[in-house]
Amino acid sequence: MSAGFAEIRTMSSTKTVIETPDLVDVEGVDYLARIKLIAEICHQFPQVFLAKGRSERERFALEAIKWRWMATPSDGRLWIVRVLAEFDFRIEDVVNLQELDDELNRMLDSAD
C-alpha cells in the first residue's frame, strides 16, 4: 500500500505517469486514470491495520487481496503482481487464482 501512495504522490505532483516495471510504455496513459487505478487497489487495505491480532489482520488482508484481484482490470493486476514481487511474494503464494476465476465466473453467471 505504501508503494501505491508513493506512486500516487509522485504522479499527482508531476502530473505525469511514472514508468514502473509493470508499465514501461507510458505514452498515452492518463496520469489521473493511473492514480485512480492504484487508489482503487489500495482502498480496502487500511481496514487491515485496524484489525485486532495477527490472524485477523492476515484474514482481512487475504480477503482484500482476493477482492481486489477479482475487481481489478489486467493493468491493475500487473501492478499488484509487481508490488507483491517487491516483497518477495507471488500472487500465487497469496491466493489460488483458479479458485478466484471460478468464483468470479459464478458471480458473473448469477448476474445474468
Give the tens place of pLDDT for each residue, 21-43: 888 778 888 999 999 999 988 88
Given a cut of 90, whether residue 84 has pLDDT beyond it is no
Q: Is the pTM of this model over 0.85?
A: no
Query: Does 81 have pLDDT greater than 80?
Result: yes
Q: How far apart are the first and last CA of the chain?
A: 34
Question: Is 92 a residue whose pLDDT tops 80?
Answer: yes
Tell me the mean pLDDT in the region 68-97.
87
- Does the structure show a pLDDT above 90 at 47? no
**Closest C-alpha to 60, from 47, 42, 71, 72:** 47
**pLDDT averaged over every residue in the chain:** 86
For residue 1, pLDDT beyond 80: no
CB-based contact 51:108 (threshold 8 Å): no
pLDDT above 90 covers a percentage of the chain that reads 17
What span, in angstroms and rounded, lies between the C-alpha atoms of 81 and 92?
A: 10
Which positions ≥6 away from 75 have C-beta within 8 Å?
22, 23, 37
For residue 57, name the pLDDT band (cuts at 50, 70, 90).
confident
Q: Alpha helix (H) ranges present in the chain?
A: 2-14, 31-42, 46-50, 54-71, 74-86, 91-94, 97-111
